[in-house]
Chain A
Amino acid sequence: MLISIAWKNIWRNKLRSGVVITAVTLGLIGGILSVGIMFGSSDQHVKDALNDYISEIQIHHPKYSENNESKYFIKNSESTENVLSQIPGVKSVCSRIKIVGMANSPEAAVGIVINGINPEKEKTVTDIYTKIPAGSGSYFENTKRNPILISSKLAEKLKLHLRSKLILTFQENGGTMTGGAFRVVGIFKTTNAMLDETNVFVRKTDLIRLTGFSENTAHEIAVRLTDKKMLETVKSEIIKKYPNLSVMTWKELQPDLAMVTDFMNQMMAIFMMIILLALGFGIVNTMLMVVLERIKEIGMLMAVGMNRIRIFTMIMLETIFLSIVGGGIGMAVSAGILDYFGRVGMNFSSVSKGLESFGYSAVIYPKVEVSFYFILSFLIILTGILASVYPAIKAVRLNPADAVRTDA
């Protein structure tokens, strides 16, 4: 009966309860949407970085990771690729020749990383082939001598266009400087301006021919996984099989990327806490008014034999119900909004340059994990419980003899 009374009590003053419920609803919508945008952008940021460049796991010669010196390479890369492909959880594997060099155009020269790739195999680990806008060439489709893919950012810097010629200089296998002329066949653009500026893609066969490396060598083997949760398991398995190679996850390769994700998670938690805290104080204020208005009634309840635990529970239930109704509506509306924008995306093109310089996409697909709603539900109930404590203590401290005679 206490539950029924508490539920009925919150509808006694529909306007006041409505205001509290609306405040909770709007607060949560704002909070959840912000969290959705933050989480969506951070998730997308990681996904883009993995899909465009990094992959979940990279394998190198242990000394290559120190200075990216091309003399430290993986031998028997083909058989290694085959073995890696068989590990449960591995979706695809691709090896690369990777050399640090200079890109020279008639206008400028910049330091770059030359990625010698097998174009077809590379498609299984990176999405670069999808990042060439219409009219900006193609992905090694028309076989020409020494084709090269460069980013729009680099093209801008070197003042290059499609079909422009570009001279790359780098060390050959023996350490002697060498170089080659390459023709721009495609200009790509990912969301990561920083990596775009420093990476170019050429065919592995062309690079092997110029450097003298054997077909069966690689500086880097990229591994994609079927499930991101298997990251550590697959890493351990690879280490078991190749204890002499350096096996690094994306979190180790790009600690800043992992840190951003962790930072975002912590920010989201703090942000939601602040919102819930603000809502909690609003609820405390309302419930204090409720207690003040019902002094006489509470006094009567105590006089006729309702003990303090029941009074406390009744006030607490009313507060929890208010929070749950507001929270439920807020979460439902937010879920609807997130579902919509999660499909069509939110376009922040007005600040796209700024976002892309940090590796973020201008179109964000906000999303939150289902578990977030469960945690939030728990936090809402907890907020209700905490917000009820002070008003409930006020109520149970009333003297029934005085309370029943009050004018309130």
Chain B
Amino acid sequence: MNIIEVKNLHKIYKESEIEVHAVRGIDLIFEQGEFTAIVGPSGSGKTTFLNMIGGLDKPTEGEIVIDGVNINELKGSKLIDFRLRKIGFVFQAYNLIPVLTAKENVEFIMSLQKRPKKERIERAETLLKAVGLGDRLNARPSKLSGGQQQRVAVARALASKPMFILADEPTANLDSESTRNLLEIMENLNKMENITFIFSTHDARVVKKARRVITFDDGKVISDVKNKY
């Protein structure tokens, strides 16, 4: 089932008088259950592309249809609400709320969805156990390692029951042990729960695990390869 359809996507940034064509006419389709890596050199348009399909940035031209909705037509609180219900985010720098515990960080997303307290707590605990942090529920981010923080971020991204998760270089700040753990967790969630992951990366270990690898260069897709296992 197609969950994201990208048609003729362009993004032009204007810096002073200079126009930067970050994304140049991309057409892509993502299906439910994909585990896709977007690779390419710096400045190739990976992050811009992820920002646009995540509804954080608007394309200059083209269409992004997610679950049948053209997100370019969504504005303000409708777009924010759409992100809250349909998209999970994992950031390179984890971006957890430092004053909240691991459990509260996960629970927080569900509180934005106005889910009942009991359900929030139960789901937060379940997800943190699923990412191997069942014993660190009440630890604040400052007491967690980088790898643990990124696992909390994955649990947080899953908490809202999104249609897919976008991860912008999720392993960039992690050591190899943490990278391996995180990839294992993401892979398991993808296989067992059929959760769609789309992530940008420079990390060869991550690329190796991806079932589909899309290579960007100069704002264009230069290859789209499906790995077989």
Partner of B99, one of A9, A301, A305: A9
Closest A residue to B51 using CB positions: A401
Q: Is there contact, CB below 8 Å, between B80 and A305?
A: yes
| CB neighbours of A303 from chain B (8 A) | 54, 56, 83, 89, 91
Interface assignment of B156: CB less than 8 Å from any CB of chain A: yes
B93 at the binding interface (Cβ < 8 Å) = yes
Which of A1, A296, A301, A306 is close to B93, meaning CB atoms less than 8 Å apart? A296
Is there contact, CB below 8 Å, between A304 and B109? yes
Instruction: Tell me the bound Cα distance from A94 to B164 in angstroms.
Output: 91
Name the interface residues of B31-72: CB closer than 8 Å to any CB of A. Answer: 47, 51, 54, 56-57
Residue of B nearest to A302 (CB): B80
Chain B interfacial positions (CB closer than 8 Å to A): 47, 51, 54, 56-57, 76-77, 80-81, 83-85, 88-89, 91, 93, 95, 97-100, 104, 107-109, 111-113, 156-157, 160
B residues within 8 A CB of A306?
80, 112
Given A303-B83, A401-B57: A12 and B98 interface contact (C-beta under 8 Å) = yes
Contacts of A167 in B (CB 8 A): none
Residue interface bits A292-307, CB-to-B below 8 A is 1, else 0: 0000110111111111
Cβ–Cβ contact B56 & A401, under 8 A: yes
A400 contacts which of B56, B84, B85, B107 (Cβ < 8 Å)? B56
- The size of the chain A interface, using a CB distance under 8 A, is 25
Contact A297 B95, CB 8 Å, known A304-B84, A304-B156: yes
Q: Quote the shortest CB–CB distance from B100 to chain A (angstroms).
A: 7
| Nearest opposing residue in chain B for A10, CB measure | B99
A300 touches B91 (CB 8 A): yes
Which residues between 283 and 330 of chain A lie within 8 Å of chain B, taking CB atoms?
A: 296-297, 299-310
Q: Are A8 and B99 CB-contacts (below 8 A) given A303-B54, A304-B83, A307-B80?
A: yes
The answer on a CB contact under 8 Å between B77 and A307 is yes
For chain A, residues 190 to 244, give those with C-beta under 8 angstroms from any C-beta of chain B.
none
Q: Does A5 contact B (CB under 8 A)?
A: yes
Instruction: Answer yes or no: A392 CB below 8 A from chain B CBs.
Output: no
Indicate whether A404 reaches chain B with its CB closer than 8 angstroms: yes
Query: How near does chain B come to A20, taking the closest CB pair, in angstroms?
Result: 17
How far does the alpha carbon of A307 sit from the alpha carbon of B111 in the complex, in Å? 12
Q: Chain B residue with minimal CB distance to A8?
A: B99
- Can you offer 26 A-B residue contacts whose CB atoms are under 8 A? A1-B104, A1-B111, A5-B97, A5-B99, A5-B100, A5-B108, A12-B99, A300-B95, A303-B54, A303-B83, A303-B89, A304-B83, A304-B89, A304-B112, A304-B157, A305-B83, A305-B112, A305-B113, A306-B80, A306-B112, A307-B77, A308-B76, A308-B77, A308-B80, A404-B56, A404-B95
Chain A nearest CB from B66 CB (Å) reads 14
Also in contact, A305 and B51, with CB within 8 A (given A1-B111, A401-B57) = no
Partner of B112, one of A9, A12, A310, A400: A310
16 extra interchain contacts, Cβ-Cβ under 8 A, other than A1-B107, A8-B100, A304-B109?
A: A5-B99, A5-B100, A12-B99, A299-B95, A300-B95, A302-B80, A303-B56, A304-B157, A305-B81, A305-B84, A305-B112, A305-B113, A306-B80, A307-B81, A399-B56, A401-B57
B222 to chain A, nearest CB (A): 24
Contacting pair A297 B156 (CB below 8 A) = no
Q: How many angstroms from the CA of A254 to the CA of B156 in the assembled complex? A: 72
Of the listed residues B81, B111, B156, the one surrounded by the most CB atoms of chain A closer than 10 A to its CB is: B111
Q: Give min CB distance, B205 to chain A, whole Å.
A: 23
Chain A residues with CB below 8 A from B112, complex form: 304-306, 310
**CA A241 – CA B95 in complex, angstroms?**
80
Q: Give the chain B neighbours of A307 by CB distance below 8 A.
A: 77, 80-81
Contact: B100 with A305, CB < 8 Å?
no
Tell which of A11, A303, A400 has the most Cβ of chain B within 10 Å.
Answer: A303
Residues of the B chain whose Cβ atoms lie less than 8 Å from the Cβ of A8: 99-100
B160: shortest Cβ distance to chain A, in Å? 7
Residue of A nearest to B166 (CB): A303
Binary B-proximity of A1-21 (CB < 8 A = 1, otherwise 0): 100010011011000000000
Q: Which residues of B contact A9 (CB under 8 A)?
A: 99
Chain B residues with CB under 8 Å of A405's CB are 47
CB distance from B112 to the nearest CB of A (A): 5
Least CB distance from A46 to B in Å reads 52
Q: Which residue of A lies closest to B88 (CB)?
A: A304
Q: With A and B bound together, what is the CA distance between A302 and B79 in angstroms?
A: 11
A1 touches B108 (CB 8 A): yes
User: Which single residue of chain A is at the shortest CB-CB distance from B50?
Assistant: A401
> What distance in Å separates the Cβ of B149 from its nearest Cβ neighbour in chain A?
13
Complex alpha-carbon distance, A274 and B99, angstroms: 34
In the complex, the 8 A-B pairs of residues with the closest C-beta atoms, listed nearest first = A305-B84, A8-B99, A300-B95, A401-B56, A1-B111, A401-B51, A401-B57, A307-B80
- CB neighbours (8 Å) of A404 from chain B are 56, 91, 93, 95
Query: CA of A308 to CA of B46 in the docked complex: distance in angstroms?
Result: 27
Most chain B CB inside 10 Å of its own CB: which residue of A8, A299, A310 = A8
